[in-house]
């Protein structure tokens, strides 16, 4: 199957990041390679992009799609960027992008279990080599832990009721599919009303917990001093309030330290025309910071 992917805010991100057309840049969430492909159209032959992704299937598709020797790709998490750059004998990069959203490929492939719209195994792992899946969480975690992740990661107002509904259903049979999880939530909310399914926040919470997403963002920000050269810039795209708040607060702390400068006082959103042409961009928030001294 041919997967489509439209890189979000590619021009705006490139305008911020690509300060040196001969530089080395990091695409910490390569996905299907959309951002990197666009960046390469604006970089010289001497430039290089180091691409990382935990999703091995997406990584292979990205390499085939971009098909450019200036892209060097690794099946690694962005939390391992320092080790990858050391392996390449690079002391740092001039710019780095971290797009924290799901790719269209991940959402539209039923076998990955990310989407409410497609019935498939309740998986949700970015890296299919890891053991813990969303099914493991809903079928084995205790009530308190389920309530905690639904509250903290999904901001779900009926977390206790949904956790109890999950536990009742798993006594009858394990929840194995996305449809099983939807039905558990619908026991609390009833069927879908309006544009947003009532299980949306539950799916978000499980995905974040399964992939330890907020922990990874925290680790990422803590490594920026080790991977960005003086004058280098970092752009982070987020797609829900938890990640945006985490990036916002950490960027402000870095700016107060004196070694970094905020280039976006407030988060930037896609232009109206982009949202019109790509509905999945509507929740995107972009924040950019520059390292001003080592």
pLDDT in tens, 179-195: 999 999 999 998 777 77
The pLDDT tens digits for 220-273 are 999 999 999 999 999 999 998 999 999 999 999 999 988 999 999 999 999 999
Q: Which residue has the tokens 């990197």?
A: 36
| Residue 233 lies in domain | 10-105+213-291
Residue 112's pLDDT is: 85
Instruction: Name the burial class of residue 112, with classes exposed (0-12), middle (13-18) and buried (19+) by CB atoms within 10 angstroms of its CB.
Output: buried
Indicate whether 124 and 187 sit together in one domain: yes
Q: Say whether pLDDT at 103 is over 70.
A: no
Q: Domain ends where: 211, 233, 258?
A: 211
Instruction: Give the Cα separation of 215 and 201 in Å (integer).
Output: 19
Q: How many domains does the chain have?
A: 2
Residue 4's pLDDT is: 60
Indicate whether 177 and 226 sit together in one domain: no
21: CATH: 3.40.50.150
Q: Is residue 40 part of a domain?
A: yes
For residues 30-49, average pLDDT: 95
Q: Say whether pLDDT at 104 is over 70.
A: no
% of the chain beyond a pLDDT of 90: 76
200: CATH: 1.10.150.170
- Retrieve residue 42's tokens: 């604006």
Q: Say whether pLDDT at 1 is over 60.
A: no
Q: Domain ends where: 185, 211, 237?
A: 211
Q: How distant, in Å, are the alpha carbons of 191, 273, 291 from that of 263?
A: 44, 23, 10
Q: Say whether pLDDT at 6 is over 90.
A: no
Residue 118's pLDDT is: 83
Rounded to whole angstroms, the maximal C-alpha distance in the chain is 60
For residues 142-169, average pLDDT: 97
Residue 105's pLDDT is: 65
- Among 87-96, 102-111, 222-231, which is the least confidently predicted range? 102-111
């Amino acid at each position: 199957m041919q997967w489509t992917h439209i890189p979000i805010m590619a021009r705006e991100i490139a305008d911020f990041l690509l300060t040196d057309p001969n530089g080395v840049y990091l695409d910490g969430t390569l996905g299907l390679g959309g951002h990197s492909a666009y960046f390469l159209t604006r970089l010289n032959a001497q430039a290089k992009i180091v691409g990382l992704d935990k999703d091995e299937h997406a990584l292979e598709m990205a390499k085939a799609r971009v098909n450019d020797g200036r892209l060097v790709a690794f099946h690694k998490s962005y939390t391992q960027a320092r080790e990858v750059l050391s392996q390449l004998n690079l002391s740092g990069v001039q710019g780095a992008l971290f797009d924290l959203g799901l790719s269209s490929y991940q959402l539209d492939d039923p076998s990955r279990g990310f989407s409410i719209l497609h019935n498939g195994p309740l998986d949700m792992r970015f890296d299919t080599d890891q053991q813990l899946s969303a099914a493991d969480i809903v079928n084995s975690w205790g009530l308190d832990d389920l309530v905690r992740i639904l509250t903290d990661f999904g901001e779900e107002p009926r977390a206790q009721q949904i956790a109890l509904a999950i536990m009742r259903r798993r006594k009858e049979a394990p929840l194995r599919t996305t449809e099983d999880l939807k039905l558990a939530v619908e026991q609390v909310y009833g069927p879908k009303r309006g544009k947003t399914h009532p299980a949306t926040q539950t799916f978000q919470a499980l995905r974040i917990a399964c992939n330890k997403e907020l922990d990874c963002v925290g680790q990422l920000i803590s490594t920026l001093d080790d991977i960005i050269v003086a004058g280098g810039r970092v752009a982070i795209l987020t797609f829900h309030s938890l990640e945006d708040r985490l990036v916002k607060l950490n960027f402000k702390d870095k700016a107060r330290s004196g070694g970094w400068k905020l280039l976006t006082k407030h988060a930037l959103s896609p232009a109206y025309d982009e949202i019109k042409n790509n509905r999945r961009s509507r929740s995107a928030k972009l924040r950019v910071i520059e390292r001003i001294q080592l």
